[in-house]
């Protein structure tokens, strides 16, 4: 009987290890979620909805539309690939800006505490630099659940001297579940589909 239990325990351990390996492998393609129709709604009244892919000047992009109280206010044009998540441009108030080179929003997956990245783009006479660092792993509670989230500190600088600081709490496969703004305001995810 002990030999049978030992074989059963080994078989169960092998099955669990295989299932875990497969779930990690399958999860990598969705590490940075970006499926058509996905949406994230925050308690600030902002909803972000993903659509695409769409051709933008010969580049295949996903479009992240930002809505405020149901009204579309801007779009980000995002490219997902082996180089991570890049923004190739944005549009608001009827004006589209193209980033050349694109800005790196996230580097290749997976993110780890201590990772840093920096990218700069030029918009005519103005340059924008995005500096980011994964500063920790935090357990946080939001209206949609409890998460172990990677805290990403993001600083945006312009050549005119303007600077903003934002902490993003990112969960692989889910997206950003919390924002903390420079003044300490907390914005939580309240709904996510699918």
pLDDT tens for 35-56 read: 999 999 999 999 999 999 999 9
CA–CA distance, 101 with 129 (Å, rounded to integer): 11
Q: Which tokens belong to 132?
A: 């980011």
29 falls in which pLDDT band (50, 70, 90)? low
- HEC sequence for 143-186: CCEEEEEEEEEEEEEECCCCEEEEEEEEECCCEEEEEEECCCCE
% the chain with pLDDT above 90: 82
pLDDT of residue 5: 42
CA–CA distance, 118 with 104 (Å, rounded to integer): 7
Average pLDDT of the chain, as a whole number: 88
Between 125 and 166, the more confident residue is 166
Task: Please say whether the beta carbons of 105 and 128 come within 8 A.
Answer: no
Residue pLDDT, tens place only, 109-163: 999 999 999 999 998 889 999 999 999 999 999 999 999 999 999 999 999 999 9
pLDDT of residue 17: 33
Q: What is the pTM of this model?
A: 0.83
Strand partners, 98: 89
């Amino acid at each position: 009987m002990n030999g049978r239990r030992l074989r059963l325990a080994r078989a169960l351990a092998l099955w669990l290890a295989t299932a875990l390996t497969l779930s990690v492998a399958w999860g990598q393609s969705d590490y940075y979620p970006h499926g058509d129709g996905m949406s994230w709604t925050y308690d600030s009244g902002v909803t972000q909805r993903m659509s695409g892919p769409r051709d933008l000047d010969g580049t295949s992009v996903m479009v992240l539309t930002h809505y405020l109280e149901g009204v579309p206010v801007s779009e980000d044009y995002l490219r997902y690939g082996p180089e991570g998540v890049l923004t190739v441009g944005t549009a608001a108030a009827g004006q589209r800006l193209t980033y050349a080179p694109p800005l790196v929003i996230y580097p290749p997956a997976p993110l780890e505490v201590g990772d840093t990245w920096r990218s700069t783009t030029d918009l005519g006479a103005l340059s924008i630099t995005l500096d980011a660092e994964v500063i920790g792993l935090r357990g946080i509670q939001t209206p949609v659940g409890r998460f172990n989230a990677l805290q990403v500190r993001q600083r945006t600088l312009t050549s005119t001297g303007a600077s903003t600081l934002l902490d993003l709490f990112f969960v692989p496969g889910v997206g950003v579940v919390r924002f903390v703004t420079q003044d300490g305001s907390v914005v939580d995810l309240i709904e996510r589909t699918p």
